Amino acid sequence: MKMQYTLLLGLTLLLAYTPSMSQNWIKGTVETAKGEAVIGANIYLEDTYDGTSSDLEGRFLFQTGEKGAQILIASYLGFTDFKQTIDLEHDTLVISIVLRENAFELQNVVITAGAFEAGGEGKREVLKPLDILTTAGATGDIAGALNTLPGTQTVGESGRLFVRGGEGYETKTFIDGMQVMSFYSAAAPNTPGRSRFMPYMFSGTSFSTGGYSAEYGQALSSALILNSKFLATQNRTDISLMSVGADVGLTRAWENASLVGKVQYTNLDPYMGLINQGIEWVDAPTSGEVSLAFRQKISSSGILKLFGNFNQTDFSLDRRDLLDPTQKTRTTIGNQYLYLNGIVQEVVGEDWTLKGGLSYTRSDDDIRLNEVVVAEEEAGLHAKLILSKTFSNNTALKIGAEYFDRQFVQHYHQSTDLFSNQYDFHERLGALFVESDIYLTSSLLARAGLRSEYSALNQRFHLAPRLSLALKTSAKGQVSIAYGRFQQAAERRWLMVANDLGAEKADHYILNYQLSDKGRTFRTEIFQKDYRDLVKFLPGAGQLATDFSNTGMGYAHGLELFWRDSKSLRNVDYWVSYSYLDTERNYQDFSAQVSPHFASKHNLSVVYKHFLNPIKSQVGFTYTFASGRPYDDPNAAGFMNQRTPIYQDLSANLSYLFRQNIIVHLSASNVLGLDQIFGYEFAHAMDETGRYPSKAIRPPAKRFLFLGVFITLSKEKTMNQLPNL
């Protein structure tokens, strides 16, 4: 009797708890807010296996043995999960589900005004990191490659990025968000400096020609934001043998950490000896460099990056006096450079991301001009803390604080008459910023930011508002506008003399249209830039400036076009950039508002790359055109009303995959041998005929040739340095 009772009870329980016994149907449709069917959405009961996917019409139907109150979930990539408590009482339940877009996940609008992204592969970037490295004429120089993009002006004797009527110093570089000072290596007068850091270090580049985020301060015209690579995954050794030197890189990878070390030595003496130079080198540039990068995954969401770079460069040359060519000035320059950068990032609390960073730059120059010794020492510290979070209601928030500390000292000593002098300044600057991305609709994104800065040096407080809007106008097109106020401390050469000089300011207004289809991008941008508070002074006796003030001003406006196509022709990738620029300014010792010497009205670049499978090589060509640049001829009437001849260059390169792990790289600038004139130098005094003697500023040699062999040793034998070239 008891036994039967037990069995009966057991059987009842079995009946009650075996799912297949009594089933309910759940059916319905899944649509977007616009009423479009969602195909392939996942519809299920929470914490059960019961569920299904929506079909081509957005319909779904499934069975469940669950009873009582259950939570029904519908999810689809790019949409916020739909959740509803349902009561499984009836045989069939019919539910209409409407999914709301999660704009941050969809990323269907991105702010493109002013910004050229070269981020993660395949995403919405215009240039990939690798593109930067295989551009002919750039010889692996970051700035060299970016100079083929619209918004930049060809200023060949400098090698720097001159953006939209701005001077070279108005472009600031950041590595992982941290400031880099002296981004360009030391170079002889009127010869181009190179970007100090090798492009292979970076996985993403964002080159902004205006209107950038409130996170970036102390940059008047442009921000070059470089994101370093994270963990290296494999052990490898890289050896490079180049016509100008050699380097060895070692990579060690562990489970959650990696270390990359590199030693480089370059010496231009043999090359300069071989090819006739326009410069009388006593000792051509020689440099030694060591860099170390350590990366660690500190938790499933936390990362640590440490990077250090040390470089020593020396060179010496003779410069002939323009008035009396028998007189030579021996110029000897030695530069020691140290850059340290560390960042740590972790998720804290309720999905907040905390990022802390610290960078330190030290750059010491020892300059000797005959008997004059000028020693310049600059040290800069940058600390930054950012908290950011993406909220489910289509809003993201970023708040941050920054501190800059910069010390500069210049010692001037003349041994002949025992004259000594010293200039210095110590700038401390604090900043707070807040910025929010808000999807007003799924196709309209707004970014509003505010940055405040206080400088202890001139005791001035600034507010800089920034605003961008991006509207998706069609599946492939979008319009963006941006406005921002930007400021930057006066250049150190003026600040050291007049410590109380205020910051220079610029307002940017940008209108951008971008159309991107698979493998093809068209973009156009018009901009207006208003400069004010530029440094102004009077030329005093003995070339010493006096009467410093922030009364300079100027403007720039223009139109830019960009077209890139990597699809139409097989194995071919090309892009064309055109910039029209109209700019004038009255700054420094200018006597009127005129176009400055670095601004050319028309700039055109055509970059062509072709991968030739049969010969396992990539060939590339870059053509650059720039209309004449203004210069002032003291022998002619008027101020800055002369123009240099137009500038043209055709550069070529070839990368040949000799073995799986060996690449041979050859590049040449100015293959047509055109006469390239960047400007003119004039003597400071008249000669006996009453004229100021002059000299054209040209590249040191007609062409620059480069040959390198890059060897990679790894266990897999397949890796090579192609991504590094």
Partner 1 sequence: MKKLDLILCALFFSLIIAATPSDAYEKAMQSAIESLFSAESLEDYQTVSNSFDRIAKKEAKKWHPIYYKAYAHVIMSTMIQGATEKDDQLDAAMELLIAADELSPNNSELLTLEGFVHMIRVTIDPGSRGPEYAGQSMGALQKAIGMNPKNPRAHMLLSDMQIGMARFMGGDNSEGCATLKKALELYENEEAANALDPSWGKEWALSKKGQCE
Q: Which residues bind partner 1 (CB under 8 A)?
A: 2, 5-6, 9-10, 13-14, 17-19, 39-42, 44, 46-53, 55-56, 75, 77, 121-124, 128, 130, 233-234, 300, 518-519, 571, 611, 616, 618, 657, 659-660, 714-716, 718-723
- As measured in angstroms, the least distance from the Cβ of 607 to partner 1 is 14
Closest to partner 1 by CB, 44 or 207: 44
Token couple for 18? 């075996």
- Least Cβ distance, residue 122 to partner 1 (angstroms): 3
Q: How far is the CB of 495 from partner 1 (least distance, A)?
A: 44
Query: Of 513 and 611, which CB lies nearer to partner 1 in the complex structure?
Result: 611
CB of 579 or CB of 661, closer to partner 1: 661
Written as six digits, the tokens of 720 are: 């090579």
Q: How far is the CB of 132 from partner 1 (least distance, A)?
A: 12
Decide whether 293 or 429 has the Cβ nearer to partner 1. 293
Q: What minimum distance in Å lies between the beta carbon of 111 and partner 1?
A: 18
Please tell me the chain's helix, strand, coil percentages from 3-state DSSP, rounded to the nearest 5: 10, 60, 35
Residue 543 near residue 565, CB atoms below 8 Å: no
Backbone angles phi, psi at 722, to 5 degrees: -50, -45
Q: Which residues touch 544 (CB under 8 Å, ≥6 apart)? A: none
141 closest CA partner among 190, 189, 204, 183: 183
The smaller minimum CB distance to partner 1, of residues 441 and 571, is found at 571
Helix (H, G, I), strand (E, B) or coil at 202: strand
For partner 1, the closer CB: 64 or 185: 64
Instruction: Tell me the closest approach of the beta carbon of residue 262 to partner 1, in angstroms.
Output: 18
Residues 6+ apart with CB under 8 A from 9: none
Q: Which two tokens stand for residue 295?
A: 């990366």
The least CB distance from residue 717 to partner 1, in Å, is 8
Q: CA 398 to CA 386: how far, in whole Å?
A: 7
The strands making up 59-64's β-sheet, listed across from edge to edge, are: 59-64, 24-32, 92-101, 79-80
Radius of gyration of the chain (CA): 31
- Residues in a beta bridge with 636: none
In whole angstroms, the minimum distance from the beta carbon of 388 to partner 1 comes to 20
Nearer to partner 1, 234 or 420 (CB): 234
Q: Residue 611: CB partners within 8 Å, gap ≥ 6?
A: 571, 572, 617, 618
Tell me the closest approach of the beta carbon of residue 301 to partner 1, in angstroms: 11
User: Judged by CB, which is closer to partner 1: 257, or 322?
Assistant: 257
Query: For the chain, what's the residue count?
Result: 725
Choose between 49 and 461: whose C-beta lies nearer to partner 1: 49
Specify the residue, 78 or 342, whose C-beta has the smaller distance to partner 1. 78
* Closest distance to partner 1 from the beta carbon of 317 (Å): 39
Strand 162-163 and strand 152-153: the pairing is antiparallel
> Which of 23/660 has CB closer to partner 1?
660
Which residues lie below 8 Å from residue 504, measured CB to CB, with a gap of 6+? 220, 487, 488, 489, 490, 531, 532, 533, 534, 535, 550, 552
The DSSP secondary structure of 479-535, one letter per residue, reads EEEEEEEEEEPPPHHHHTT-TT---EEEEEEEEEEEEEETTEEEEEEEEEEEEEEEE
Task: Report the residue number, 75 or 390, with the smaller CB distance to partner 1.
Answer: 75
What's the closest the beta carbon of residue 353 comes to partner 1, in angstroms? 17
Question: How near is the Cβ of 707 to partner 1 at its closest, in Å?
Answer: 20
Spatial neighbors of 148 by CB under 8 A, at least 6 apart, are 135, 137, 138, 575, 577, 605, 607, 622, 624
346 vs 300: CA distance, rounded Å: 9
Instruction: Answer for the pair 284, 269: CB distance below 8 angstroms, yes or no.
Output: yes
Q: CA distances (Å), 110 to each of 125, 470, 565, in order? A: 10, 7, 20
